[in-house]
Amino acid sequence: MAEKTRTNWLNLAAPVLLIGALACVPLIAQAIDNPFLIRLFTRVIVLSIAAVALNFVLGFGGLVSLMHAGLFGIGAYGVAILSHHDYNAEPILFGWMGTSNLAISGPIAIALAALAALVMGFICLRTSGSYFIMITLAFNQMLYYFFVALQEYGGDDGLQILGTIDFAGLNITKRITFYYVCLGVLAVVIVAFMRIVGSRFGMTLRASAQNERRLIAIGVPALRYKLAAFVISGAVAGLAGALWATGQGFVSPADMAWTRSGDLVVMAVLGGLASVWAPVVGATVFLVLQALFSNYTVFWQLPLGLVIIFTIVLLRGGLLDLMLRVRKQDKGDAA
Partner 1 sequence: MSAPLLEVTNLVKRFGGLAATDGLSLDVLTGETHALIGPNGAGKTTLIAQLQGELSPDQGVIAFKGQDITREPPHARASLGIARSFQITSIFPEFTVMQNVALAVQAREGHGFRFWAQTAHDKRLLDPAREALDTIGLTHRANRDARDLSHGERRQLELAMALAMRPSLLLLDEPMAGMGRQEGIRMTRILESLKGRYSILLVEHDMDAVFALADRCSVLVAGRAIATGAPDAIRNDPAVREAYLGKRH
- Name the phi and psi angles at 90, rounded to 5: -105, 135
- 203 forms part of the interface with partner 1 (CB under 8 A): yes
The CA distance from 36 to 33, in Å, is: 9
Rounded least distance, CB 223 to partner 1, Å: 9
- 220 forms part of the interface with partner 1 (CB under 8 A): yes
Left if phi > 0, otherwise alpha if psi is -120 to 50, otherwise beta: which for 94?
A: left
Specify whether the CB–CB gap between 141 and 120 falls below 8 A: no
The CA distance from 242 to 189, in Å, is: 14
- 335 forms part of the interface with partner 1 (CB under 8 A): no
Scanning 2-10, 40-48, 90-98, 253-261 for contacts with partner 1 by CB under 8 A, the matching segment is: 2-10
SS3 31: helix
The CA distance from 63 to 23, in Å, is: 32
- 9 forms part of the interface with partner 1 (CB under 8 A): no
- 216 forms part of the interface with partner 1 (CB under 8 A): yes
- 334 forms part of the interface with partner 1 (CB under 8 A): no
- 316 forms part of the interface with partner 1 (CB under 8 A): no
Rounded least distance, CB 118 to partner 1, Å: 15
SS3 101: strand
Enumerate residues 6+ apart whose C-beta is below 8 A from 148. 155, 156, 253
Other CB atoms within a 10 A radius of the CB of residue 119 amount to 12
Which residue number, 128 or 294, has a Cβ lying nearer to partner 1?
128
Specify whether the CB–CB gap between 81 and 109 falls below 8 A: no
- 206 forms part of the interface with partner 1 (CB under 8 A): yes
Rounded least distance, CB 114 to partner 1, Å: 15
- 164 forms part of the interface with partner 1 (CB under 8 A): no
- 32 forms part of the interface with partner 1 (CB under 8 A): no
Which residue number, 228 or 257, has a Cβ lying nearer to partner 1?
228
SS3 334: coil
Specify whether the CB–CB gap between 18 and 282 falls below 8 A: no
Which residue number, 82 or 189, has a Cβ lying nearer to partner 1?
189
Scanning 12-20, 161-169, 201-209, 299-307 for contacts with partner 1 by CB under 8 A, the matching segment is: 201-209
Interacting residue with partner 1 among 118, 207, 288, 291 (CB under 8 A) = 207
Interacting residue with partner 1 among 210, 295, 329, 334 (CB under 8 A) = 210
Nearest to 286 by CA among 266, 306, 272: 266
Specify whether the CB–CB gap between 222 and 73 falls below 8 A: no
SS3 251: strand
Rounded least distance, CB 232 to partner 1, Å: 8
Interacting residue with partner 1 among 211, 259, 297, 301 (CB under 8 A) = 211
User: If you compute the radius of gyration of the chain from its CA atoms, what whole number of angstroms results?
Assistant: 20
- 200 forms part of the interface with partner 1 (CB under 8 A): yes
Scanning 8-16, 64-72, 109-117, 204-212 for contacts with partner 1 by CB under 8 A, the matching segment is: 204-212
Instruction: Give the footprint of partner 1 on this chain (CB under 8 A).
Output: 2-5, 195-196, 198-204, 206-207, 210-211, 213-222, 225, 228
